[in-house]
Structure 1
């Protein structure tokens, strides 16, 4: 396989198909042909490439699952390094889509933010009515409350900021899968607040980065427990967690931080020593792919939200997973003017130094 575009289409189709099958399994649906269209396309592409290089082609869905559980670098298809990084990541682990799988599932869509029609509706309605406070409140709710009871949702939709979005809020959450019930309770992840799901080893968070976090709150299965629909869990709630973490850390330093200014022109806006900083938090497994996507992208500076310095910031645990994460990102990234990339702890240290410098010069 030599054509990079073919590789992109293949990985994207397979990933989206695997995510669709995973979602169907959560809802109790049986896996049967015809499979999701994206998976069918991916399987045909994969078989054609295997034949072209003299590798025995896949014979069916089980072969796809077997491959998806193996590191991409072992598939024998000579994937481009910018697409798979070190090649050590698989698309499925413990029968769940991995971060790299979810990144590929969104690759051929316009933006991960608009993966869900629900967020498109929220975005359009809030812009039309010029209610940024509702946009911020809604998005923050999805990040901080992946799981609700039906009664809690009824109360939330009466809050002033959320009231304009009450009909959309009703559709953002769906009944939690009954397969996640144990001894009459649903259990939440102690780290992210997501739902613990049953798997071959017991119960675990859908977000594999929460491994070992253990059980948090218990919710009685008699209380009509709801959880976010799949696109919102994966592309709004999960990557939004480090955004909220960074905002809270900066607020603890005494800074006035605005989330998602100008309806998400970027993630965080604040001033340090009379200079305005703009931050986009990026939480991707593959730094090569992320660097390629952001190669020439300039963080916007819309009216009333212009900035003096801009930053791409990555959660520290990405560097724990891949020691040279920042170097790998920069190898594919062309830094725009006044923009730098840092791991989160290094960025916070920079903010602290700037605050200290401002106090010394006061």
Structure 2
């Protein structure tokens, strides 16, 4: 019980930091770890500080004296706090503030504790626009699911579009209301922001995930989790402007999609014919492991810093039915301690009849290759 309480406590402090950071960014050019006024702190922060005070009282230790002392504590890894927090071993190295900014752990904790309103709004609006385009442009040989996958892949593989590419999208998805432009343009505007560029433009982009590269500490930084930034010049032929993914779409859709698409492509290299986002994203990647299509495996790819928080947010859909189910962790996260912690945290959180195997992406591919070879021998 104490472990659950400590994640709740950290979630409150994290949600408070996230909201306080948003207020401060609107009010002044300061970082979340250096607020200028007491009134900048959010109600979630106040509740978290109160619970933290009681947590110290429970073990007979003096609590932090004020908000600034709590902020200093938030900079420390959890394993260095004066109170022993009941968190997964892999999480003891994390902190709520990293380098003067809200940490990745804190963003995840705030999402689990209070839900991510921004993320939900972004995903809901995009899903509505995407489904309208996919359903209105069905035709013989292309289902709504086909259109969904095509446009979802566009967000991942083409985070930058020229106006000529957008014009080609209008030709590919021509359906429109009686008195307006094609539905696909509303989708483009929901996902991308337009920037001027006459007669072409050269951008410095990541050669792996195609994101235009901002600079941090004098070096180009991609920001996509697990991506080794490889700068290269990206030339776009344009007539008057180009389109770049909105920051929120990058954070909530593109980053996760890069991992999902990588697993999909690796499975294809093994000779399988996998499905992307089956049943409109019920699963991430799924596939038949036998030629007859009688044995169906499903995967959900998750790239979280915290195994404890991932376990608290994770669920598995009842449909489509799968013979084996895998929660796949990317290589840059899949330390043995992380995988063990995640398995332990998942115990009792899923229905007993839904067995989900926790694997690294490398382990998944090994299992699939082994099964594929066995199928070949049986044939």
> Which interval holds the TM-score relative to the shorter structure?
0.7 to 0.9
Residues 8 and 113, structure 2, Cα contact 8 Å, conserved in 1: no
Structure whose CA Rg is larger: 2
Q: Which residue of 2 aligns with 1:172?
A: 191
Report the 3-state secondary structure (helix = DSSP H, G, I; strand = E; otherwise coil) of the residue aligned with 1:284: coil
CA positional deviation for 1:324: 1.5
Q: Does 1:209 align with 2:226?
A: yes
Q: Contact 2:298–2:322 at 8 Å: present in 1 too?
A: yes
The equivalent of 1:277 in structure 2 is 297
Q: Which is further off, 64-73 or 241-250?
A: 64-73
> Counterparts in 2 of 1:323-338, with a 5 A limit?
323-334=336-347, 336-338=353-355
CA positional deviation for 1:355: 1.0
Task: Give 1:138's aligned residue.
Answer: 151
Q: Aligned partners of 1:137 and 1:65: how far apart in 2?
A: 45
Structure-2 change in CA distance of 1:42 and 1:203 (3 Å): farther
Match among 323, 337, 343 for residue 308 of structure 1:
323
Q: 2:45 aligns with which of 43, 46, 66?
A: 43
Ranges in structure 1 where 5+ consecutive residues have no aligned partner: 177-183
Does the aligned pair in 2 maintain the 1:94–1:199 contact within 8 Å?
no
The CA deviation at 1:331 is: 0.7
Q: 1:205 to 1:92 in 2, by over 3 A?
A: farther
Aligned pairs (5 A) from 1:64-83: 68-76=74-82, 78-82=84-88
Q: What TM-score do you get using the length of structure 1 for normalisation?
A: 0.76
Q: Cα gap change, 1:240/1:225 in structure 2, threshold over 3 Å: closer, same or farther?
A: same
Following the alignment from structure 2 to structure 1, what is the Cα–Cα distance between the partners of residues 83 and 70?
Answer: 14
Q: Deviations over 1:220-260 (max 9, x none)?
A: 8x975543223321221111111100100111122111111
| Alignment size in residue pairs | 337
Is residue 2:120 matched to residue 1:101?
no
Alpha-carbon distance in 1 for matches of 2:366, 2:245: 34
**In structure 2, C-alpha distance between the alignment counterparts of 1:124 and 1:141, rounded to whole Å:** 16
Q: Assess, with a 3 A threshold, how the Cα gap between structure 1 residues 247 and 346 changes in structure 2: closer, same or farther.
A: same
**1:117 and 2:130 equivalent?**
no
Match of 1:350 among 367, 372, 377: 367
Paired with 1:140 and 1:36, the residues of 2 have a C-alpha distance of 43
Distance 1:240 1:70 in 2: 31
Please name the residue that 2:140 is paired with. none
